Amino acid sequence: MINNDSTQELALFFAELAPDEHEKLLTGSGIWQKKYFPLGVTVFAENSTSTDLYLILKGQIEISKIVGEKGTKKKILAILGQGSIFGEGALLSDKPRSATATTLVNTETLVLSKEKFESFLKERPKEANYLLLALLRVVNQRLIWTNHELVTLYEIAQIISKTKNDLPALVKKIMQRLASLTKANRGLIALKNRSTQKQEISTQWGNYNLSSEELDQLAQKLITQHTLHEKTFLALPLYDFSENFLGIIAMESQVGWTIETRKIARAVTDQLGIAISDYWFMESENGRSKLEQRNVEF
């Protein structure tokens, strides 16, 4: 039932559960309930007071957060697939939701409500402790990944700071670091030509190449699906802060993609998108300033 490529988090979760709880969990019995969400539905919203825990049986969930001074921009934190757990923060605390969860496709989940969880703690404390330990293992692993992500983002920020005035050098440096971090043996970064609106390869490694038609088809898929992941292949869209589509990162890894390497790839992609947007803005402003200066001279 659960895709082996997405089981790392679930394996941590199952490690502490009693065998009979495994079966109950997957069949949606006992304290768990199956719940279906169609495409485009908000499972829970940022700052809401819902407290359910979810486990994805089938489908995809986007986890996002509102950012920016006016609170009008969305930052995608993660795309979760089959076998992923989300919503554990509100279950284990009394704080509001820290992010929004939205279905990207028709999605089937298992749901554990806070009420049932607390009743379970009282009625079957031994089994409940197993479940609590399982949740804590998942939370701990996410903290480890977050620390790794913060270190990576610092490294990427240093690269951007040193090459922000040279876009080709910036993209190439980011490509080299991304390949090293994710163990991707080949890949490419393509940017949208602002005149033709076509995708053009900016840099590549491992002799990886796609035709103009293939790049445009990939771009159309990413605009609607946000991420493409199949075994050794991963493709992510480049966006600016206003969610304008800027380009593509496509990679192949012979060792496959773990939850951690996909999270790192997305974090780097987000930073690169913002850096490209800033470069193009400054280029446009410099061009406008030179044009105004010429007009004054005439």
AA letter at 11? A
Task: For the domain made up of 164-297, give the CATH fold.
Answer: Beta-Lactamase (3.30.450)
pLDDT of residue 38: 96
Average pLDDT across the chain, whole number: 82
Mean pLDDT value across residues 121-134: 77
The pLDDT tens digits of the residues spanning 180-227 come to 989 999 999 999 888 888 889 999 999 998 998 999 999 999 988 788
What are 283's two structure tokens?
């280029």
CATH code, residues 4-144:
2.60.120.10
Q: Does the structure show a pLDDT above 80 at 69? A: no
Amino acid letter for position 91: L
Nearest to 7 by CA among 96, 85, 95, 83: 83
Tell me how far apart the alpha carbons of residues 201 and 90 are, in angstroms, rounded to a whole number. Answer: 43
pLDDT reported for residue 153: 84
**pLDDT for residue 285:** 76
Contact 145, 265 (CB under 8 A): no
Kindly report, as residue ranges, where domains of CATH 2.60.120.10 are found in the chain: 4-144
pTM: 0.64
Domain with CATH 3.30.450.40 in the chain: 164-297
Evaluate whether 189 touches 237 at the Cβ level (below 8 Å). no
Phi–psi pair at 241, nearest 5 degrees: -65, -25
Per-residue model confidence (pLDDT) at position 1: 32
